[in-house]
């Protein structure tokens, strides 16, 4: 998806960010005369001190930005503002949600790679692999790889 010519949301795929604060249920709280938060019978999926990767679906833009490398955060800021601007013009939040989902994947990869240095190393390795592939380096046919593996 292109936000504007030459600017696209990233397409990479957890975090050490604290979980969101519990949501208050006003009607239930008033009826019981105390604060009540939403609960389920399921065990907590959030380990102490952080968010699990599968919970990124509810991440806020601030939580996502907090784990990005400075260079990724700058790109996030540019794309986020562009998405908000388009949403304001079109009254359609789809572009905002799409952009945030894409950056959630980058945040997840950043954390999974061990932080900023790990993410930079991962990007460097990927760039090198793409350069090697684009320079006409001979590849190995898939059938040959499968044969070597005995598949």
| Cα 108 to Cα 103: distance, rounded to the nearest angstrom | 8
Is 22 part of any domain? no
Based on the structure, what is the number of domains in the chain? Answer: 1
Is 140 part of any domain? no
pLDDT for residue 15:
40
Range of the domain at 94: 58-128
Give the list of residues 6+ apart from residue 84 with CB closer than 8 angstroms, or none. 96
Is 4 part of any domain? no
Cα distance between the two ends of the chain: 37
Is 120 part of any domain? yes
| Cα 20 to Cα 16: distance, rounded to the nearest angstrom | 12
* Average pLDDT over all residues of the chain: 74
Is 1 part of any domain? no
Could you read off the pLDDT of 35-77 as tens digits, one per residue?
545 544 444 334 344 555 556 778 999 999 999 999 999 999 9
Q: Is the pLDDT of residue 88 over 90?
A: yes
Is 45 part of any domain? no
Is 83 part of any domain? yes
Could you read off the pLDDT of 101-132 as tens digits, one per residue?
999 999 999 999 999 999 999 999 988 888 87
Q: Locate tokens 């932080």: which residue?
A: 115
pLDDT for residue 9:
44
Is 114 part of any domain? yes
């Amino acid at each position: 998806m292109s936000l504007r010519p030459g600017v696209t949301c990233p397409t990479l795929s957890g975090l050490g960010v604290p979980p969101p604060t519990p949501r208050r249920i006003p009607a239930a709280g008033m009826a019981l005369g105390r604060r009540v938060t939403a609960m389920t019978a399921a065990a907590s999926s959030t380990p102490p001190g952080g968010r699990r990767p599968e919970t990124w679906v509810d991440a806020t833009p601030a939580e996502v930005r907090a784990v990005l490398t400075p260079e990724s955060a700058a790109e996030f800021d540019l794309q986020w503002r562009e998405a908000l601007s388009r949403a304001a013009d079109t009254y359609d939040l789809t572009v905002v949600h799409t952009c945030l989902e894409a950056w959630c994947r980058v945040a997840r990869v950043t954390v999974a790679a061990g932080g900023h240095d790990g993410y930079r190393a991962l990007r460097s390795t990927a760039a090198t692999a793409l350069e090697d592939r684009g320079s006409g380096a001979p590849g190995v046919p898939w059938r040959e790889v499968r044969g070597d593996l005995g598949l």
